[in-house]
Amino acid sequence: MTTQQEVLHLNRNPELSDWFTSRLEYLIGVGLYHNQTSTLAERIISELVNYRTHWGIDSAVTAKLFREAGWQVLPVIMSIDQDPTEVERGREVCEDLGVTYIDRDLTDMYTHNINNMAEYHDGILADTYRSSIRRGNIRARLRMQTLYDFASQIGGCVASTDNFSELAAGFWTLHGDVGDIAPIQSLIKSWEVPKLAKHLGVPDSVITAKPTDGLGISDGDEAQLGVSYLEFDIGLFTLMRKGDLTEALSQDIEKIKTISDRIKNSGYKRCNPYNLIHPADALRYQALEMLDNTLQNREENLTL
């Protein structure tokens, strides 16, 4: 199987236009869709080895990486009116890891929360797309609230499982998806994440499943994005590398605009919170960061 064939297979064989296909061939040629998965895994694991604490996580690839790095992994399955197949996939991952896991149904807690909020939050129960996003954000924050409480209980941390494609798309909930360490934040969804999953032995049923955030907003991630993850990644790196769009057809340009708008409109998330610089001490944040690094033994000298 060629790299291009494997990329398409891992993305559930989406129909690409000639232009997106040509851009994929180019990105394969310049090494974005590489075959250095083993090296990638080794480097991430070596970084994680430098951290010494317990962890509670719910992502298959992230869990495998932390296990390889010698961490104690505590997966938490948190369902809220969930599709049973999604819950079963979570259990399959935990059983494949061979670890004890926590299984919590948060539906009653979520329903109680939503009904209380409905008394003073207009439209929260409305059957509209915007209201479904609001409810989805509440689901995500309830899950993160639960994870951090478990982490506090055992003296641990929470893993962030977002990837680079989601980071660029703003496809996460502020204060609902971001944990303490993000081992796969730099990896693209259409290639490096599934390739790494295969390398680490994640069950095929998880790798080939349709991507979904489980928040009940729409029929999967790609329905919300408006493009497939493969198209998004191709468009993202074309834009970042100022690639040629002259041969793109009108439908390709529409998709590129969808991708560009998604990135533009989510920029506020990637700089959240926006810290204002002190008017009389512009280097205050840098000084604190240097102190943090020194106290964590990541730098030998403190120079202010």
Is residue 46 over pLDDT 80?
A: yes
Mean pLDDT to the nearest integer, 261-290: 93
Q: What is the CA radius of gyration of the chain?
A: 21
pLDDT confidence bin for 214, thresholds 50/70/90: confident
- Can you tell me the mean pLDDT for 187-195? 95
Mean pLDDT of the chain: 89
Question: Does residue 168 surpass a pLDDT of 80?
Answer: yes
Least confident interval from 45-54, 108-117, 234-243, 269-278: 45-54
pLDDT at residue number 218: 74
Per-residue pLDDT at 298: 56
* Residues paired with residue 158 on neighbouring β-strands, in sequence order: 56
In contact, 210 and 220? CB cutoff 8 Å: yes
For the segment 47-55, the average pLDDT, to the nearest whole number, is 55
Residue 297's pLDDT is 66
Average of per-residue pLDDT across 139-151? 94
| Per-residue pLDDT at 69 | 92
pLDDT for residue 53 is more than 70: no
pLDDT (average), residues 146-155? 93
pTM of the complete model: 0.89
Q: What is the pLDDT, as a whole number, of residue 276?
A: 92
- Phi and psi dihedrals of 79, rounded to 5? -100, 140
The pLDDT value recorded for residue 238 is: 96
Check residues 89 and 42 and name the one with the higher pLDDT. Answer: 42
**Rounded CA gap, 225 and 63, in Å?**
26
pLDDT at 140 over 90: yes
Q: Are 193 and 61 in contact (CB under 8 A)?
A: yes
The stretch 180-206 carries a mean pLDDT of: 92
The predicted-structure confidence for 117-139, as pLDDT tens digits, reads as follows 999 999 999 999 999 999 999 99
> What whole-number percentage of the chain has pLDDT above 90?
67
Which of 82, 214, 81, 209 lies closest to 136, judged by CA? 214
pLDDT at 299 over 50: no
Is residue 151 within 8 A of residue 56, CB to CB? The reply is: yes
The residues pairing with 104 across neighbouring beta strands, listed in sequence order, are 78
The mean per-residue pLDDT over the stretch 239-254 comes to 94
Q: Average of pLDDT values for 131-159? A: 93
Confirm if 63 and 179 have CB atoms less than 8 A apart. Answer: no
Inform me whether the pLDDT recorded for 10 exceeds 60.
Answer: yes
